[in-house]
Structure 1
């Protein structure tokens, strides 16, 4: 297992990439559990005036992905998403949405993560699951 980066390191990692572009911020990190948040703003809306599903997925997928990186086994060089699924139950038009991601399985060749995204009222907006393939150098 790799050392857990500081919140500052996690947040800096996303600068100049999609996590930084959408304004994702990590608020908690430990092996197997990460929390993040995103301030809702019009640029993240769909044309219907509600938070775009892709914005919610970006929050959940990034949070799970950073968790995957922390739990990579010795010798692994990275990971790639095999599958992701998201069920959207509610939405938001203001405030801060939060994400909590937990590892379900952390094996040598795959990891499975679950995440819940909640609006500022605490209502579950989305249930998310992803499966990651653990990658190793060819040789």
Structure 2
């Protein structure tokens, strides 16, 4: 599916106001054919009680980036999407700085999309690998 011209970075930024991505502090930084990149600055509220980055923060960023990418690549006449399945593998963590998620299309069908995201710290060190399957809603 080609990138929808009506879905811009500003459109996505406005869509998240007052919602979880806004609460987490997610910033969408780039959108292209089959890809979307977002980031967030780590702050104490996003850490687990052990002082390390909470896994839910990482998943929230990755899932948001994949979801926004899905919106930007919806087929003609599709209205929205919902998540069917998601999985993440965490291989590292962080305590400060920022994390970056890059979503990439794996499958862009008329009834489902599959998206992968890699989450890294500000220096590019891998933190997590994420995959989700989205059901396209008409």
Identify the TM-score tier after normalising by the shorter chain.
Answer: over 0.9
Aligned residue in 1 for 2:120: 118
Aligned residue in 2 for 1:60: 62
RMSD between aligned alpha carbons? 1.1
TM-score, length of structure 1 as denominator length: 0.94
Aligned residue in 2 for 1:128: 130
TM-score, length of structure 2 as denominator length: 0.94
Aligned residue in 2 for 1:84: 86
**Aligned pairs, how many?**
136
Query: How far, CA to CA, are the matches of 2:134 and 2:82 in structure 1?
Result: 6
Answer yes or no: is the 8 Å Cα contact 1:28–1:36 preserved in 2: yes
Query: How far, CA to CA, are the matches of 2:22 and 2:58 in structure 1?
Result: 14
1:26-105 superposed matches below 5 A: 26-105=28-107
Shift of 1:13: 1.6
* Structure 1 spans left out of the alignment, 5+ residues: none
* Structure 2 spans left out of the alignment, 5+ residues: none
Give structure 1 regions of 4+ aligned residues with deviation exceeding 2 angstroms. 4-9
1:4-15 superposed matches below 5 A: 5-15=7-17
Shift of 1:121: 2.2
Answer yes or no: is the 8 Å Cα contact 1:4–1:29 preserved in 2: no
